A and B are shown apart, each in its own frame.
Chain A
Amino acid sequence: MKLLNHPVDMIAVFNMNGDIKPFKFKYKDKKIKVEKIIDIKEEKLAGNRRLVFICMTDRKDIYELKYEIDSHKWFLFKR
């Protein structure tokens, strides 16, 4: 697995309950739709809060998307 912390443009859904769901993002000029979210976690390393979305594509490949709460940035983390 390749480690990345790459900022990405993201279209996400913010629902009425305050839940956030990544929907579609752009990586290296490719538009990628988030197919399946397996797990959502929160990490607070050094006190910096990030929501971690563990996602699956092609029924087997796992990658992570992270949403940084303070900066409102999205990152593609592992793929």
Chain B
Amino acid sequence: MKPESTVMHIDVNSAFLSWHTAYYKQMGIENDFLEKPTVIGGNEKKRHGIVLAKSIPAKKSGVKTGQSLMEAKIACPNLEIIYPRYDVYVKASKSLREFLKTYTPDVDVFSIDECFLNFTDKNKNYEKLAYEIKNTIKKNFGYTVNVGISTNKLLAKQASEFEKPDKIHTLYKEEIKTKLWPLDVSELFMIGRRTAPKLKKLGISTIGDLANCDYNLLIASLKSHGKLIYDYAWGIDNSIFREEHDIKGIGNGSTISFDVEERQVAYKIIMSLCENVGIRLRKENKLCKVVSIGIKSKDFKYSIKQKKINYYTSSTEEIIETAKYLFDVLWDQSPIRHMNVRVSDLIDRKNKQINFFEKENALEKEKLDEAIDKIREKYGSYSIIKASYLDSGIEPVMGGYPSEEYPDMKSIL
């Protein structure tokens, strides 16, 4: 991650309970599950089950996540048990993500109730923005979040873990010593129940101890995991977050403000969408094997088609070629209102094998793509554009770039 970007971590406070409370509120039932001993668990058919989430008062009565509902009821006799409503939670999670995307297209989903936002504009008051985001969520959606602000994902996530609920915290590099180091070492991301006791044996009890410990001793005891958490204690994050949650595909779509009736215009839009997909694919260090295209016509007819390539690739050129081929097969000449391109069947770049079918100059093309990405990263997305975009009125790289400050990058055309 580039040092100049600002990262926010949004974390829904007691997500399932908060969402359930908001859901009840919409039905006209005022019942704040967070304020009293409540757990979410079990289901309507089977009355037994385990505790999936608990309120603070339930926790205080000794209820633990993962224990059986019966044990929980013994620990806390006046416990209220509510059955999970995953449909409600998924809708809440999706709507939150959509809402966050109005602030930056660069939203990384970490879990059902956690997202990372990436911002590249240096001249912005991000604390003010975080308050706006937090308060708008509270007002519109009826639940609270914590927001952590920093320059990388790790620190932003650690920051959102500070005092809860409904709070904004920063954890910039210069604040690590005062805000992060005094905490117990188990508060650090990726230090679980097994690692913490090992660290205690080495005399490491706070994150500060870890940052200033005997590095060789640490590595001898914990191997590569030791290196990872040592880096974390110093706030160094080489963005491991995405790899934790394997992404299934990368897509980009655009609703067009005019009806597209000419093939050449459609091609340009496809190329523009593919440029962005290619950039993100390479940024993730992934290769793809499947390309799909979706077309929505003026009268909202939606059709989709996909194709498997004979080898894995991250070349924009290859993606464009396949997408154009698919478009030719799919398009019935009716005016187009929306198009999207998606790549899937992803593997890590390091697993790639040279394939017989691959185009001869594929390696050169990949190197070219990488070089272009670097220049664009340095000088902005307009610094290199394909000649066909000149005078076309179509954005050369659609979507994915927060710097343009559009509330919704999808309506860029």
| Chain A residues proximal to chain B, CB less than 8 Å | 3-5, 43-48, 50, 70, 77-78
Contacts and interface: CB of A to CB of B under 8 A. Distances in A.
Interface stretch (B21-29, B334-342, B377-385): B21-29
A57 B257 CA distance: 43
A47 B28 contact: no
B28 A44 contact: no
B25 A44 contact: no
Interface in B308-362: none
B144 to A, nearest CB: 12
Contacts of A48: 23, 26, 88, 91-92, 95
Contacts of B140: 43-44
B94 A47 contact: yes
Given A44-B140, A45-B142, A77 B28 contact: yes
Given A44-B95, A48-B91, A3 B141 contact: no
B119 interface: no
Contacts of B27: 5
Contact of B23 (A4, A46, A70): A46
A71 to B, nearest CB: 11
B96 interface: yes
Contacts of A3: 28-29
28 contacts: A3-B28, A3-B29, A4-B28, A5-B27, A5-B28, A5-B29, A43-B26, A43-B140, A44-B95, A44-B140, A45-B141, A45-B142, A46-B19, A46-B22, A46-B26, A46-B92, A46-B95, A46-B141, A47-B92, A47-B94, A47-B95, A47-B141, A48-B23, A48-B88, A48-B92, A50-B26, A77-B28, A78-B28
A9 B50 CA distance: 39
From B25, B28, B88, B94, name the one whose CB has the most chain A CB atoms within 10 angstroms: B28
User: For A3, A4, A46, which residue has the most chain B Cβ atoms within 10 angstroms?
Assistant: A46
A47 B93 CA distance: 8
A70 B94 CA distance: 13
B26 A45 contact: yes
A9 B94 CA distance: 29
B215 to A, nearest CB: 46
Contacts of A50: 26
B201 to A, nearest CB: 45
A47 B41 CA distance: 22
Nearest to A47: B95
B230 interface: no
Contacts of B25: 45
Contacts of A78: 28
B116 interface: no
A33 B176 CA distance: 64
B143 interface: yes
Contacts of A5: 27-29
A9 B228 CA distance: 60
Contact of B141 (A4, A44, A70, A77): A44
A45 B93 CA distance: 12
Interface string B116-150: 00000000000000000000000011110000000
